[in-house]
Copies of this chain bind each other. A is one copy, B any other.
Amino acid sequence: MLDNYLLEELVTFAQTGTLAKTAATLNVTQPTVTRGMQKLESDLGVQLFDRQPNRLSLTATGKLAATEARALLTANQAAVDRIQNFDRNQRVLQVGATLPGPLIALQSLATQLPANVQLAETADVIDPTQALLANDDALIFTNHPLAAPAITSERLGTERLAVNLNQFMYQANQATITFAELADLSFVVLNDIGPWRAIIQDNIPGAKFFYQEERDALTEITKFSDFPYFSTNVSQFDPVLTTQLATDDKRVCLPITDNAAQMPIYACYLTAEKARVAPILKQAQAVWPD
C-alpha cells in the first residue's frame, strides 16, 4: 500500500522537477521530500529516480509511478466527495439543472415542497451524469436523457421559447413568430440559460445579444428600454418577471414556432434514489404547463 503523502510528493516532483521546488510547493522542507522519495522507492522495491549528485530525474518506472500516483490521488479525492455529497443528500435533497426553466417552475411552489429540498440558484450543471454519480445533485433537469445505466431519465414535458416584443414593432402584430422574423434584432438575455444560448445564437441571423449575469439587472434593463427579451411557457412562473414587469410592460409575448424553439425536458436521477425524488417530481409534473 502506498501512502498518500508520498504520492503527493511524487506527483509534485513530476511537475516541478526538483526536490527543492517540490518541498516549497508542499510547504515542507527538502529533507522531508528526500526521505519521502527514498521511502517510496523502498516501499515499492523499485528505483524511481536516476541519481546524480546534484540532479534527480525520474526513471521510466518513475514516470509511470507518477501518473499512477496522480490517478490514485484524484480517485481518493473523488471518493471523498461522493461520500460527503451522499451524506449531505441524505438530509438536503439538492436539485440542479442544465437550463433554468424547470427550476423557476419549482421555485414558484417553494412553500409546498418538502423542507429538505434545496433548489440550485442558477442552471450551472456542466456534466449532469457526473453530477449525479458524484452525488453532487440528487435530481437534475436536462434537455436530453442521460445514458448511464444507474440513471433514470423521465420525460417531464416541453419548454417552448417565446419572445417579448414592444407592441409597436411591426413584428408584434401577429399571434406567433419565427426565428427568421427576428433577424438583426438585439436582445437582452440571461447568462445561464444553458442550451437555449446556442439555439438563439444559431437560429436568429444577424442578431446581437447582451448577456446579463444578474436577473435583477436584466429586469431593470428591460423595464427602461425597448429591447426584446425571451421567455418560455415555463418561465412564466418567474416571480421576478411577473411581478416587476407584467404590471407596466408594454411588450407582447409571441411564441416562437420553429422546431428548434421547442425543447424536451427530462428529470434525471439515480435509480437508487427514485423514492426520495418521487414527491418532487410529482409536484413538478403537476405544475407543468402542458
Footprint of B on A, CB under 8 Å?
1-5, 8, 44-47, 60-61, 64-65, 68-69, 71-73, 75-77, 79-80, 82-84, 86-87, 90
Q: A60-B90, A90-B61 are in contact. Are A80 and B4 (CB under 8 A)?
A: no
Q: Specify which chain B residues have a CB less than 8 angstroms from the CB of A65 in the assembled complex.
A: 83
With A and B bound together, what is the CA distance between A4 and B7 in angstroms?
12
Write the nearest CB–CB distance from A83 to chain B, whole angstroms.
5
A61 near B47 (CB under 8 angstroms)? no
With A and B bound together, what is the CA distance between A176 and B282 in angstroms?
73
Q: Count copies of this chain in the complex.
A: 2
A2 near B76 (CB under 8 angstroms)? yes
B84 near A2 (CB under 8 angstroms)? no
| 15 A-B pairs (CB sep. < 8 Å) | A1-B76, A1-B77, A4-B4, A44-B84, A44-B87, A45-B84, A46-B83, A46-B84, A46-B87, A47-B87, A61-B83, A61-B87, A68-B82, A72-B72, A72-B76
Q: Specify which chain B residues have a CB less than 8 angstroms from the CB of A87 in the assembled complex.
A: 44, 46-47, 61
With A and B bound together, what is the CA distance between A3 and B5 in angstroms?
9
Chain A to chain B: the 8 pairs with minimum beta-carbon distance, closest first? A68-B79, A61-B87, A1-B4, A46-B87, A65-B83, A64-B86, A61-B86, A1-B76
Q: Specify which chain B residues have a CB less than 8 angstroms from the CB of A46 in the assembled complex.
A: 83-84, 87
Write the nearest CB–CB distance from A89 to chain B, whole angstroms.
10
With A and B bound together, what is the CA distance between A69 and B78 in angstroms?
11
Write the nearest CB–CB distance from A188 to chain B, whole angstroms.
43
Q: A84-B44, A86-B64 are in contact. Are A2 and B72 (CB under 8 A)?
A: no
Write the nearest CB–CB distance from A57 to chain B, whole angstroms.
15
B68 near A83 (CB under 8 angstroms)? yes
Q: Specify which chain B residues have a CB less than 8 angstroms from the CB of A69 in the assembled complex.
A: 79
Write the nearest CB–CB distance from A86 to chain B, whole angstroms.
5
Q: Specify which chain B residues have a CB less than 8 angstroms from the CB of A61 in the assembled complex.
A: 83, 86-87, 90
With A and B bound together, what is the CA distance between A80 and B45 in angstroms?
10
Q: Specify which chain B residues have a CB less than 8 angstroms from the CB of A45 in the assembled complex.
A: 84
Sample of 4 further A-B pairs with CB below 8 A, known A2-B4, A44-B80, A68-B82: A1-B4, A1-B5, A46-B84, A64-B86
Write the nearest CB–CB distance from A265 to chain B, whole angstroms.
29
With A and B bound together, what is the CA distance between A210 and B232 in angstroms?
76
Q: Specify which chain B residues have a CB less than 8 angstroms from the CB of A47 in the assembled complex.
A: 87
With A and B bound together, what is the CA distance between A178 and B150 in angstroms?
50
Write the nearest CB–CB distance from A258 to chain B, whole angstroms.
41
With A and B bound together, what is the CA distance between A44 and B83 in angstroms?
8
A2 near B71 (CB under 8 angstroms)? no
Q: Specify which chain B residues have a CB less than 8 angstroms from the CB of A73 in the assembled complex.
A: 1
Q: Specify which chain B residues have a CB less than 8 angstroms from the CB of A68 in the assembled complex.
A: 79, 82-83
Q: Most chain-B Cβ atoms within 10 A of its Cβ — which of A44, A60, A61, A73?
A: A61
